[in-house]
A and B are shown apart, each in its own frame.
Chain A
Amino acid sequence: MESIAQSPWAALAYLVAGICFILALRGLSSPSTSQRGNRLGMIGMTIAVVTTLVTHFPQVKSTAAGIAIDPLIAGEILAAILIGAAIGIVTARRIPMTAMPQLVAAFHSLVGLAAVLVACAAFLNPAAFGIADLVIPLIGAPFESIHQVSRIEMGLGVAIGAITFSGSVIAFLKLNGNMGGKPIMLPGRHVINLGLLAAILGLIGYFVQDQSPWIFWTITVLSFLIGFLLIIPIGGADMPVVVSMLNSYSGWAAAAMGFTLHNSAMIITGALVGSSGAILSYIMCKAMNRSFISVIAGGFGGDAGGGGGAAAAVDRPWKRGSAEDAAFLMSQAEQVIIVPGYGMAVAQAQHVLREMGDKLKAHGVRVKYAIHPVAGRMPGHMNVLLAEANVPYDEVFELEDINSEFAQTDVAFVIGANDVTNPAAKTDKSSPIYGMPVLDVEKAKTVLFIKRSMGGVGYAGVDNEVFYRDNTMMLLADAKKMVEEIVKSLD
């Protein structure tokens, strides 16, 4: 049998779909072109789906005897698409913006599982995918021998898909709060993981020689297991890296299946998504000054007091302020820089924060927002929340664009961020976050720092020098309540 019966028109259509996907990502270079980009993505997907349906339905009818034509198939496929569409659209409409990291993790798990299912289907019915030759042995029944290259591709596809699935499920449970954010450390986990990885790769190699079902299913089960084991030791603070990494895996899984199906749309998309996730992981690691390997090895964010003088710092003097003090200080300021973090997301304080910004602007204050790359639980998390609260995106700045401005700023207003403002990252070589780029909030004339209580420390488990500085005023309360009170005092 010809490896893939694909007409040149279909191949061309898949290529066009791939180009649409490239342009969809290109559109995200600026908010003004992004919506057009998203629409191009939808067009690309429509082209890919329609092309598949058009090229594969006639085949069902025209294939030689032996394949039963099932008039229900079209209806079943349509029903499957409609069920998925209904679930997807309802979820997308209802999900609160603060839950976006969980949603993305859940979506990743679906891509992973879909890849596993497609690989299983291809293994069970290789003839339908055109990846097998019918072998009629002298003794025994004829069987479909899957091409050796396809076996590698299928093995890799099912393995990456399964890792994506189980890893994303764990990431989802951690982000959604069903499972503690603290890393769970198994003894000897590195040995177990490396052993499993070697076993999976060895089995894929063996699969090339022998297409016995047990090998395929063992690869699948071991991959589910390693995905699970890889993510459980990773702590909450490293979640931006994990989510990006799983994003990347979901792409590689799609690419591996694209190799199996000789489909350029899938290969192009897989490569795009794979590199996108890899770049985001790199950006996140760099923003934490951690190597990718150390994040994957896990354990960060668990051992509180890892920094040298954290325990001794409890009795140090600090200043407490009230909402009225904060309102007064900010209304007198020329420029206020707001530094949001994960705490803002948890408290859902973004809307009232924007209200505060509006009030300040009415007082003639210049208001800017400074966003650290790893603030929140996924790349760009804070930007989305501020956008949701109608903060114009040209008031929102990235770390490197605004960091020099703190020195000329009257008030730095830190809400729900901690580690990303810790000057110890610049000075204290013994600190676990040493070398991480941080926002220089302490250079502002006054720092207003919203925090629930003085007891807790950031996710890195280190005390923050900023709390005890002369120019810092601690506002101890729930972020949303505190900002609401400040807004009242600003009237």
Chain B
Amino acid sequence: MDFISILSVFVLACFVGYYVVWSVTPALHTPLMAVTNAISSVIIVGALIASAAGSVGSAGETAKWLGLLAVVLASINIFGGFAVTARMLAMYKKKVR
């Protein structure tokens, strides 16, 4: 992908984000923050690439370990974020009539 097509994806996604987020009910703003937290950990993709790249020389070796550390951090966020969101969402109940 060239820079312009990436930029297009980015700009359009910003618009999608704008409209989608405005439709989120205020009662769910805390779960919204928790789940956006979890999904922004998609940065794990970069961490996995760094870890899986193997190591050439000392810089490559350092890069690999930085990548692995990033995998740990992003995993905490992914699992923790989705789990805590699920826990919160399970609490929202309708009135039992």
Provide the residues of chain B in CB contact with A26, threshold 8 Å: 20, 23
**A347-387 vs B: 1/0 string, CB under 8 Å?**
00000000000000000000000010100001111011001
* Nearest-CB residue, chain A, relative to B47: A118
Is A25 a contact of B32 with CB atoms below 8 Å?
yes
Q: Could you tell me the distance between the alpha carbons of A221 and B9 in the complex, rounded to whole angstroms?
A: 31
Asked whether A379 and B54 contact (CB < 8 A) given A35-B86, A80-B72, A398-B26, the answer is no
Q: How many residue pairs between the two chains, A and B, have CB atoms under 8 Å in the bound complex? A: 403
**A244-259 vs B: 1/0 string, CB under 8 Å?**
1001001101110111
Is A25 a contact of B92 with CB atoms below 8 Å?
no
**B44-80 vs A: 1/0 string, CB under 8 Å?**
1111111111111001101110111111111111111
Is B10 a contact of A255 with CB atoms below 8 Å?
yes
Is B30 a contact of A393 with CB atoms below 8 Å?
no
Is A124 a contact of B69 with CB atoms below 8 Å?
no
Asked whether A276 and B45 contact (CB < 8 A) given A41-B38, A267-B9, A383-B29, the answer is no
Provide the residues of chain B in CB contact with A326, threshold 8 Å: none
Is B17 a contact of A104 with CB atoms below 8 Å?
no
Chain A's nearest CB lies how many Å from the CB of B24? 5
Asked whether A45 and B37 contact (CB < 8 A) given A84-B74, A93-B83, the answer is no
The residue from B17, B82, B93 contacting A42, defined by CB atoms under 8 A apart: B82
Provide the residues of chain B in CB contact with A393, threshold 8 Å: 27, 92-94
Provide the residues of chain A in CB contact with B78, threshold 8 Å: 45, 84-85, 88
Q: Could you tell me the distance between the alpha carbons of A89 and B83 in the complex, rounded to whole angstroms?
A: 6
* Nearest-CB residue, chain A, relative to B57: A125
Q: Could you tell me the distance between the alpha carbons of A283 and B21 in the complex, rounded to whole angstroms?
A: 11
Main secondary structure of the interface of B (DSSP, over half): helix
Q: Using a Cβ–Cβ cut-off of 8 Å, how many residues does chain A contribute to the interface with B?
A: 124
Is B51 a contact of A73 with CB atoms below 8 Å?
yes
Q: Could you tell me the distance between the alpha carbons of A113 and B75 in the complex, rounded to whole angstroms?
A: 12
* Band of interface residues on B: 35 or more
Provide the residues of chain A in CB contact with B77, threshold 8 Å: 84, 88, 107, 110-111, 114
Provide the residues of chain B in CB contact with A22, threshold 8 Å: 13, 16-17, 20
Is B39 a contact of A107 with CB atoms below 8 Å?
no
The residue from A57, A247, A394 contacting B52, defined by CB atoms under 8 A apart: A57
Is A259 a contact of B66 with CB atoms below 8 Å?
no
The residue from B18, B68, B79, B90 contacting A80, defined by CB atoms under 8 A apart: B68
The residue from B6, B21, B42 contacting A21, defined by CB atoms under 8 A apart: B42
Is B28 a contact of A28 with CB atoms below 8 Å?
yes
Chain B's nearest CB lies how many Å from the CB of A19? 10
Task: Please list the 9 inter-chain residue pairs (A to B) with the smallest Cβ-Cβ separation, ordered nearest first.
Answer: A84-B75, A88-B80, A380-B29, A128-B53, A88-B79, A275-B17, A271-B13, A379-B29, A92-B83
Please give 4 more A-B residue pairs, beta carbons under 8 A apart, in addition to A68-B54, A261-B45, A387-B91: A32-B94, A263-B46, A272-B13, A383-B28
Question: Which B positions have Cβ atoms within 8 angstroms of A?
Answer: 1, 3, 6, 9-11, 13-14, 16-18, 20-56, 59-60, 62-64, 66-96
